[in-house]
């Protein structure tokens, strides 16, 4: 109490100084006044101001963060209901294509080299033409070294490859199990349609249209005991990303969430056992919860960065409103974690030796 009155007095005095003293000392004094301002916040007092200072320092350090690699979840709509999903259909919003392109251009100017289109199901909106146009724009006009898509794979048609395949570097398909029943339990099934037959068809198209084929699997309580070695070997992806099922508050856990994924969660040890069982697969890239939380720079359907550090997704303002640099300061993206994850690795077709084209049969 005493301290606050004292500081308030000093502040008043300095403000008086500024209004009467001009010339070179003015600006210096103004800085002192601003500093004093921060020392006299409302009730929480000094502790709060120390915290402010630290946050400020952290942000200043983050000013240098470049959005080298961006995951753009441009739609939340999906044709599936995977029980563990951490990016759920909370809104049906999709930006107009011209606005999305403006945002992509801003990101390119801020240093983006790699874009990953995700969702929701990215092939759903305008039957994939919206996605296709963004892919073309990123490759042809923005000349990004790497353009990729993460999809469940159920909506992809050969027509899409014919039209847009040449602009796409990598297609990552999510497949969590090679057992149809397990997929059914997880929620990755539409009636009797076989997800797995579809997977092999997409693999062929990737080969035909020279798109690198990647696989993503989320390891959870229902597929933890599976041995996928033979199936993965047969599909021969350039990379097999193996995720430990992650909980995000407000998405698949806690209040206001559309899913309750707790029953899918596995321990570190279980995850490690799964990895050990598949150690013969050279293209396997593990993504533990720890590694995932901070290493993805996520852009949502409004082009807001999402901060997943606290196990929640707190959005920034949209880059369309405040620009990339401002928005990124609040995104919680950890550049070191990204590098640890091997984030900078074979991004474009040009970097790849074309061995992946031939599948082991």
Ligand X SMILES: *[C@@H]1O[C@H](CO)[C@@H](O)[C@H](O)[C@H]1NC(C)=O
Ligand Y SMILES: C[S@@+](CC[C@H](N)C(=O)[O-])C[C@H]1O[C@@H](n2cnc3c(N)ncnc32)[C@H](O)[C@@H]1O
Instruction: Kindly list the residues in this chain that would bind ligand Y in the complex (CB under 6 A).
Output: 78, 84-87, 118-121, 150-152, 174, 216, 218, 243, 245-246, 252, 261
d(Cα 59, Cα 200) in Å, to the nearest integer?
A: 46
Residue 170 contact among ligand SF4, ligand Y, ligand X, none, beta carbon within 5 to 8 Å by kind: ligand X
Least distance to ligand SF4, CB of residue 216, Å: 9
Q: Is 173 in the site for ligand X (CB under 6 A)?
A: yes
The beta strands (E) that lie in the chain are given as: 69-73, 114-118, 146-151, 170-174, 212-219, 239-244, 284-287, 298-299, 304-307, 314-318
The question of whether 82 is a catalytic residue gets the answer yes
Q: Can you tell me the distance from the alpha carbon of 200 to that of 206, in angstroms, rounded to the nearest whole number? A: 10
The whole-angstrom separation of Cα 26 and Cα 23 is 6
Q: What is the Cα–Cα distance from 303 to 100, expressed in whole angstroms?
A: 8
Cβ of residue 174: shortest distance to ligand Y, in angstroms? Answer: 3
Find, among 62, 51, 7, 55, the residue nearest to 32 by Cα. 7
Of the candidates 39, 68, 148, 329, which one interacts with ligand X according to CB under 6 A?
A: 148
- Catalytic (active site) residue 138: no
Sign of CA dihedral 333, 336, 341, 342: positive
Convert residues 11-40 into a mask of x (bound to ligand X by CB under 6 A) and - (unbound). Answer: ------------------------------
Q: Does 122 bind ligand X (CB under 6 A)?
A: no
311 binds ligand X (CB under 6 A): no
Among 15, 81, 102, 136, binds ligand SF4 (CB under 6 A): 81
In the complex, the smallest distance separating the C-beta of residue 346 from ligand X, rounded to whole angstroms, is: 10
List of residues 6+ apart from 284 with CB closer than 8 A: 240, 242, 275, 278
Residue 160 CA to residue 132 CA, distance in Å, equals 8
Is 78 a known active-site residue?
yes
117 pairs with which residues across the strands?
72, 149
Identify whether the C-beta of residue 226 lies closer than 8 Å to the C-beta of residue 277.
Answer: no
- Binds ligand X by CB under 6 A, chosen from 68, 75, 116, 223: 116
Residue 128 partner contact from ligand SF4, ligand X, ligand Y, none using kind-dependent CB cut-offs of 5 to 8 Å: none
Given 118, 223, 244, 318, the residue binding ligand X (CB under 6 A): 118
Residues near ligand X, by CB under 6 A:
71, 80, 82, 116, 118, 148, 150, 152-154, 170, 172-175, 178, 183, 187-189, 195-196, 199, 214, 216, 230-231, 241, 296
């Amino acid at each position: 109490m005493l301290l606050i009155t004292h500081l308030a007095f000093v502040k008043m005095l300095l403000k008086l100084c500024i209004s009467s003293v001009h010339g070179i000392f003015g600006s210096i004094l103004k800085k002192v006044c601003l500093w004093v301002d921060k020392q006299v916040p409302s009730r929480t007092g000094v502790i709060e101001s120390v915290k402010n200072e630290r946050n400020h320092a952290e942000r200043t350090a983050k000013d240098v963060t470049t959005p080298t690699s961006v995951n753009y979840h441009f739609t939340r709509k999906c044709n599936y209901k995977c029980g563990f999903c951490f990016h759920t259909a909370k809104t049906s919003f999709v930006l107009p294509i011209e606005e999305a392109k403006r945002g992509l251009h801003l990101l390119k100017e801020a240093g983006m080299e790699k874009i990953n289109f995700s969702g929701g199901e990215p092939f759903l909106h305008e039957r994939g033409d919206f996605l296709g146009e963004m892919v073309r724009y990123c490759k042809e006009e923005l000349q990004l070294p790497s353009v990729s898509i993460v999809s469940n794979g159920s909506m992809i048609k050969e027509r899409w490859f014919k039209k847009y395949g040449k602009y796409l570097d990598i297609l990552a398909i999510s497949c969590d199990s090679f057992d149809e029943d397990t997929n059914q339990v997880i929620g990755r099934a539409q009636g009797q349609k076989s997800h797995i037959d579809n997977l092999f068809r997409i693999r062929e198209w990737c080969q035909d249209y020279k798109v690198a084929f990647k696989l993503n699997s989320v390891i959870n309580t229902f597929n933890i005991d599976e041995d996928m070695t033979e199936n993965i070997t047969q599909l021969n992806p350039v990379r097999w990303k193996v995720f430990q099922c992650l909980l995000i508050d407000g998405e698949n856990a806690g209040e206001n969430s559309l899913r309750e994924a707790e029953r899918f969660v596995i321990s570190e040890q279980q995850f490690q056992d799964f990895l050990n069982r598949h150690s013969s697969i050279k293209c396997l890239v593990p993504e533990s919860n720890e590694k995932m939380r901070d290493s993805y720079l996520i852009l949502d359907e409004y082009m807001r960065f999402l901060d997943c550090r606290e196990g929640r997704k707190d959005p920034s303002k949209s880059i369309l409103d405040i620009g990339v640099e401002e928005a990124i300061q609040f995104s919680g993206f950890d550049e070191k974690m990204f590098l640890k994850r091997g984030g900078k690795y074979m991004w474009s077709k040009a970097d790849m030796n074309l061995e992946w084209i031939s599948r082991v049969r």
